[in-house]
Homo-oligomer: A and B are copies of this chain.
Amino acid sequence: MTAPDLDQSRPNGSLHPYGEGELFGKGKHLLSVSQFDRPTLVDLFTLADTVAPIAQRQLGRGDRQLATGQTVCSVLDGAVLGSLFFEPSTRTRLSFESAFLRLGGEVTTTTGFTFSSMAKGESIEDTSRVVSGYSDVLVVRHPDEGSVAQFAAASVVPVINAGDGAGEHPSQALLDLYTLEKELGQRGGTVDGSTIAVVGDLRHGRTVHSLLKLLTVYRDVSVRLFAPESLELPDETARHLTSAGHRLTVCDTVVEALRGADAVYTTRVQRERITGEVPASIQGNLIDRSVLAEADALDIVIMHPLPRDSRHDAYDLSSDVDDLPGLAIFHQTDNGVNVRMAIFLTALGCSPEMVRVTTKQRPWDATLHWNR
């Protein structure tokens, strides 16, 4: 085994800060989706497949067969995750923590702005160096763009970015893409060569930007966009996609975007940001059963980063689509667990083989989980 890329000139023994173009791997921070090329992504998703039975307590997907015993793993026996949420994000935190626990590790949790030391003038570097000494890997969420990278630069253990304000949220984009691959794969398709509708607020949605960025490692994707007025995709993100050889079509209606697409990725419009009268263009539902029927897309793969706004007139994905066969929104959250398991295993240098030899069946909860 070789040593990670450590900067020996740094007095506190910090890991080498993440540099542009550095791919994600053993001993690396995960700060941005730009740390993935196609082979890196394939490796991560292979690992995610390996651990899926551990995450989902089941023998397989889609076959509606119930497990006869729980599949549990102890590969991270003795490892400690420091889960540091400087702003609340309960579901992201629980998904990361559950992922780590299901690999046999242990978790310490800090939520809210409770770093009283920071209020006393402590630098983010001092905080990072101290708490990284208590853990084997850190997950950090922070409201300010760039602050997770700053935190990572002083850490002695790998740091996983769980969202830094308007910045990145790489694990979300990874689980979105992983789910897209699985859903299309179950229908005999692939992401390469597919047609994806992306609708909703394309301007502010961090998850949309990261997903589209990550799509550039695929080939021949047709992306069909629809956004209400003034919520269009930024030109820079669009150029990024077209320069990777993908086709980009801007549509006038959501129905037009949906027609012929293999999957739709929906994001909610943050109506709480709108002051004054709500324009008619963002009232009602963004997508519901009737819109899908009109686009002849009742069997389309339906994705959403969640939460979705279920209040009346919220201009989001309606719950009247919940019994359609392509509903994948809860597959996304379920898959988030094994994708994050794969992230931890990669950063900590664990191979699929290590996972296999530390996995066993346990008697409890033998037939409880529905084969989602």
**Chain B residues with Cβ under 8 A from A330's Cβ?**
12, 129-130, 133
Complex alpha-carbon distance, A364 and B316, angstroms: 43
With A90-B110, A98-B108, A349-B368 already in contact, the answer to whether A306 and B133 are too (CB < 8 A) is no
Residue of A76, A129, A370 ringed by the most chain B CB atoms within 10 A: A370
A319 touches B123 (CB 8 A): yes
Interface residue ranges of A339-355 to B (CB < 8 Å): 345, 347-350, 354
A1: contacting residue among B98, B362, B367, CB under 8 A: B367
Query: Which positions 78-116 of chain A face chain B at CB distance < 8 Å?
Result: 78-80, 82, 88-91, 94-95, 97-98, 101-102, 104, 106-111, 114-116
Q: Are B122 and A363 in contact (CB-based, < 8 A)?
A: no
CB neighbours of A184 from chain B (8 A): none
Copies of this protein in the assembly total 3
The answer to whether residues A117 and B90 also contact, given A79-B70, A122-B310 and a CB cut-off of 8 A, is yes
Q: How far is the CA of A371 from the CA of B12 in the complex (A)?
A: 10
Which of A78, A95, A316 gathers the greatest number of chain B CB atoms within 10 Å?
A78
Q: Once the chains are docked, how many angstroms separate the CA of A102 from the CA of B136?
A: 11
Are A94 and B366 CB-contacts (below 8 A) given A11-B327, A68-B1, A323-B11?
no
Assembled-state Cα–Cα distance A117/B371 (Å): 26
A170 at the interface (CB under 8 A from B): no
| The residue from B131, B309, B311, B333 contacting A133, defined by CB atoms under 8 A apart | B333
Asked whether A12 and B78 contact (CB < 8 A) given A122-B307, A348-B368, A369-B157, the answer is no
A-B residue pairs, 3 tightest by C-beta: A72-B78, A121-B309, A13-B370
